[in-house]
Every structure is written in structure tokens, then in C-alpha cells.
Chain A
Amino acid sequence: MNRKAVLPRIVSLAAVLLALTAWWIVTANGWVKPLFLPSPPDVWRAFTDMVTSGYKGSPLALHIWDSMYRLGAAFALALLTAVPLGILSGSNKWVQAALYPFIEFYRPLPPLAYYTVLVLWLGIEDASKIMLLFLAAFAPLYIAVVSGVKRVPSDRINGARSLGASKWKIYVHIILPSCLPEIFIGIRTAVGVAYTTLAAAEMVAAVTGIGWMVLDASKFLRSDIVFAGIIMMGLIAILIDIAIRSLERKIVPWSGKE
């Protein structure tokens, strides 16, 4: 790695260290009440407590697993529907014209506005939670795929066609690989948006999940658990993003180099 790449990393490292030190100084001197800002040792203790004895009857791993299961199921569903529909819409303006009004209508809606309806339709178990996360993930993924398909050079499609490729083969061998970079951008946005609705999805009838854990702790003014939970959620999000990006480098190494 060259110097150009290392320097910014040092700056970010220093900034984070500075913020942590400021946090520590402010709380250690009692300038802020622990309810508003618990001290780093308190937050750490809340975390180790959760690791050793769980939270409200379930081990911490189960809370994380349940959240990841909801997120993963919703995302898999979004991938299975948004990519084919996006490719179809990108190459056929009639399909796009028929789908767009619905997607443009629900996309900006705040999830909590329609969550009660989902609960009425699908019940209080995981189905309604997964549906909420799916709806959050679907729109950005679909839109990214549509724009990706539209950006496939027509020369490439015509070239394949002149060589005698069938319509099906053009979809599988030309259009899909060509818009993979865009699909990955869509995936990262979709996972991000779905992740931000995780706490909302776990508001109703959950007794597990990291989002629920933070909400429940806030009812009892347990700021230490709230902070520990939020930090965990942030770190998990970063790990997910890193995983997606390394996958992206493996599958579409040509991304951004065309």
C-alpha cells in the first residue's frame, strides 16, 4: 500500500481515538449524567453482561442471529424478485411503465406508516417483520437494476445478436453480467436501507433481535445497554458492508474499470 492510501487511514484512526478519549474524559469527570451518556466502562460492562448472561432470557448470539435471519430472509427475497423484475423492466418499457407507479408510490413512505397494516395482514410473527424489511430493500435494488440494464451498450447486445444469440442467451450472458456492477451498488444500498428499518421492524411483538433489545432497554432507561446495542449494530453493519464489498471484488473485478 502506498503512502497516499495510508495517510487518510491514520487520520480516521486518530479522529476515532479522539472521539473515544473525549467520551471517556466527559464521563469520567461526571460532566454528563450517565443516563444521557454512560461511561465507556459502563457500556463495556453492559456488553460483557449480555455476552455472559444474555438479555431478557435469550443469549446475545440469539438476538443477533434472529435479526440477521430477518434481514437475510428479506434480502434474499428482494434479490430473487428485484433482479429479474429489474432486468425485465430495463429491457421492456411496457413492463417498466406498469410497475413504476407502484414502486414510486410506496418507496418514499415511512415504514412505520404501513407497518400496522402488514401486522394485520401477516400477523405478529416473523412474516410481517420480513415483509417490512423486504419492502425497504426491494425499491433501491430494483431501481439500480433498471438503470444498470439501460446502461448496457447496445453495441454489445447487437453484436451478440448478429452472432446468432437467442433472446434468452442475451439476457443470461450479456445483460445480467453487464449490469452486475450496478446490481452490487443496488445491493449495498438495499442492505443499508433494510438495516435502518430493523429496529422499526422489531417494535411489534418481538422478544428477540438487537433492534428490539435497544428499544426494550430504552423503556427501562438502561442507557448502557442502549449504547452497547447501538455500537454493536454499527459494527455489524460495517462487517456486512465489508463482506458485500469483498464479494463484489470477487464477482465483478472489472467494476469501475470499463
Chain B
Amino acid sequence: MKLKHNDSRRRSRIGLSIVAIMMALLFSACSGNSAPASDSNANRAGGQQTANNGGEQNKTANKETEGEKPTQTSSSGGTEAELPKEVRIGFQVIPNAELLAKTLGLVEKKFPDVKINWVQFDSGRDVNTAIASGGIDLGLAGSVPVAIGIANKLEYQVYFLHDIIGDNEALAVKEAAGVKDVSGLKGKKVAAPFGSTTHFSLLSALKEAGLEASDVKVLDLQPPDILAAWQRGDIDAAFVWQPTLAKLIENKGTILTTAKKLAEKGIITADVGVVSTAFANKYPQFLKQYVGVLDEAIAFYRSEPEKAAQSIGDFINQSAQDSLAQMNELVWLTSEEQRSEQYLGNGVGSVFAKVLKETGDFLVTQQSIPSAPDLAAFEAGIRTDALQP
């Protein structure tokens, strides 16, 4: 007993001294900046500092590219030496070309000598941290997490648009709530996973309908919890993706608006393929051939949709019919189609760079990120070498 007591007292001493130091630090810093206005200015300056650091790193990365360019042009065939030994691909369970390529085993067939490591993710936030920490080489994240990543100078680039989000993400409302349109949501509880594409779509839809963020109680829930809260009657509406969306509709729900309708108004969201910049510079041939595999999967889906749906349905444990319906809700684009200015184009001047920029600006108004870089930074965040024929 006595020993324990001594021990606890010693710990309290350490605790006390930590508190003392923190307090001392707090007070010394307090006297430094007194006006709140200057604080926020200082914060912005801090953000720029961050940006500068990232810029320097980008420069070094560019130098690497220049250095390797000769090897890239000298051998266009793609010999083994240009392929990595192992590739770690972060995928998400979204019925698009990448998932189809995985379930059909197309990637392993194309690269028999490369160890393909598939890592499953449930959110773009985790993909961001995984790429930042060097845990994966390629990843799939929504356009919102990617805009956050580029604004934070993550060293990755967009190389492919896995899909444009259409009817698979929608704002569902309980029939019992008696809401006819988005503006009717005033005073209601609406759920969405924060930081996701649907969160962005929801806030944009509310703004479009003339509602302030404070008019609606927006709750942060993951899709499984949305379903639980919906069934219990804790929420009135939710902006969520498949397959949760279908379950909400089954449980007396109707759709108010969809990502497709919002896209027609210029609020575009997409599932984006990102690649670690260092990896892409080192193995441009792999990236190009990987895009080729994705094109192959898209061609297979277009020519034999039933078989494609069966393959994906087996993987996510649902019927081929449901899978096909969900696959048709997404817009699938081949690399050739993505070369259009309307999508990735040449990066510079492309519509998708503007989408990322607008997403970033919107997140700044939501106080989610302190500042968004200019359009050029988002354009630099897109690489189109892998899309070329």
C-alpha cells in the first residue's frame, strides 16, 4: 500500500510539472498576441508557410521526373525493370472499373511478376493518411478528400477518374417527415459522413435551396449508423451512397435530390484515382499499363454487363441485379473519354481541376480547411501521362 502511495505521488509531481510548463507556455504566448483579428491573420500566414514547404518538395519531385525522362522515352515497351516488385493499391467497395478489374483478376493477369497488394478502405480520409504515410502507392478517394489532400500538399496526384458520381449518392428523406423539397428540411435532422462527397453534396444542396447551415441539424454518421438511426427514427433525412441508400428507400424513404441532379447544376463529385507522386515518377510504365487494365474492365462492362455485375455481386455479397443497377448509376469513363477538356483533359484548363478548386473553396467557407490554394495548384495535382494512347 505504502509503495503504491509513493508511486502515485511521484506521478502527481510529474503531472504537476507538465501542467506548470504548459501554463507557463500558454501565458508567455498569450502576452504575444492579444487581438483575435491578428490571430486569424497569423493563422493564414501559417497556412502559407505550409504551402511553401510543400512547394519546395514538389520542386524536388519535379527534378526527379526530369532526371528520369530519358529512360521513359527510350523504352516504350515496358520491360520488367520498369515495373515495381510490389504495388499496394488502396481500393474501396464501389462498383466501378477498379473493383471489376480486381474481381476479374485483370491486374494480376497483366502483371504476373508484380505482387499486387489490395488494401480495402472505407473512407477517403483513411486513403489520404495512408498515402501521406507511404502505406499505399495507389488509392481511390472521393473528390472531396482529394481536394483536402491537395490543399494540404499531400504528395499525390490524380491519374484517373474511376467514376463520376450519379444516382448512387442521394438525399433520402423519411416519407413520414412530409418533406417535398430540399428547402422543406428546415429544422430537421439530416445525417451524412463528414468530409465525404455526400457531406459536400448535402451542404451544397442546402445552400442551393437557400438554407443556412444553422437551419438544419447536420449530424456526422457513417453509413451503417445512418441506417440504424433511420430505423430508430432518430434522423429525418440522410445524404448517403449505395448500398445503404437502397435500404433507406426500402424503409419508407423517398429521394429529394441526387448527386446526378446536383452535377447538372455544376456541383460535381467523383471517385478519383490518386497515385503517390514519387511512385508515378519512378514507374510511369506501370501506371500507364494499369490505366490500360481499367480501360479493359470498362470495355468488358460495356460489352457484357451481366457478367461484370455477377463478378462484382459475388464479391460484395449481393445479387447481380442489384449490382448492375448500382453500376449503371455511376458514370464510367475510359482514358480516351477522360482526355476531353470536360474531364481531366491536360490537367491545365480542365473542368475537373475547376471542380477540385471549387470544392476546396467551399471547404474554406465551411471552416474545414484554413485556405485553398489557387487553381494552378489543383491543375498541378492532375497528371495525364497515363491517359495518353
Contact = CB atoms under 8 A, between A and B. Distances in A.
Interface of A: 5, 8-9, 12-13, 16-17, 20, 30, 33-36, 41-42, 44-46, 48-49, 52-53, 56-57, 116, 119-120, 123-125, 181, 185, 204-207, 212, 216, 218-222, 224, 231, 235, 238-239, 241-242, 245, 255-256, 258
Contacts of A53: 36, 40
B21 A57 contact: no
Nearest to A1: B13
Given A46-B43, A125-B234, 14 more contacts: A12-B17, A20-B21, A34-B53, A45-B39, A57-B214, A116-B228, A204-B222, A205-B220, A206-B220, A216-B220, A219-B194, A219-B195, A221-B152, A256-B5
Given A119-B228, A124-B235, A48 B39 contact: yes
B143 interface: no
Nearest to A32: B53
Nearest to A217: B368
A48 B36 CA distance: 8
B234 A42 contact: no
A218 B124 CA distance: 12
Contacts of B191: 205
B16 A242 contact: yes
A200 B1 CA distance: 34
A12 B16 CA distance: 10
B61 interface: no
Given A207-B220, A221-B148, A45 B1 contact: no
A207 B39 contact: no
B209 interface: no
Q: Which of A46, A206, A238 has the most CB of B within 10 A?
A: A238
A220 B39 CA distance: 21
- A contacts with B: majority SS: helix
Given A48-B39, A205-B191, A242-B12, A16 B228 contact: no
Contacts of A20: 21, 25
B71 interface: no
Interface in B117-152: 125, 128-129, 132, 148-149, 152
A219 to B, nearest CB: 3
Given A206-B220, A242-B15, A45 B43 contact: yes
B43 A116 contact: no
A30 B53 contact: yes
Contacts of B5: 255-256
Contacts of A119: 225, 228-229
Contact of B4 (A56, A216, A256, A258): A256
B218 interface: yes
A208 to B, nearest CB: 11
A255 B9 CA distance: 13
B75 interface: no
B177 interface: no
Contacts, number: 145
Nearest to B4: A256
B221 interface: yes
Contacts of A124: 219, 221, 225, 228-229, 232, 234-235
Interface residues of B, number: 63
Nearest to A218: B125
A41 B125 contact: no
Contact of A116 (B2, B129, B217, B225): B225
A215 to B, nearest CB: 9
B229 A49 contact: no
A9 B13 contact: yes
Contacts of B220: 204-207, 212, 216
A9 B255 CA distance: 63
A191 to B, nearest CB: 14
B29 A44 contact: yes
Nearest to B232: A123
Nearest to B233: A123
Q: Which of A36, A49, A241 has the most CB of B within 10 A?
A: A49
B40 A235 contact: no
A227 B15 CA distance: 19
B214 A220 contact: no
Contact of B132 (A35, A116, A231, A235): A35
Contacts of A222: 369-370
B188 to A, nearest CB: 14
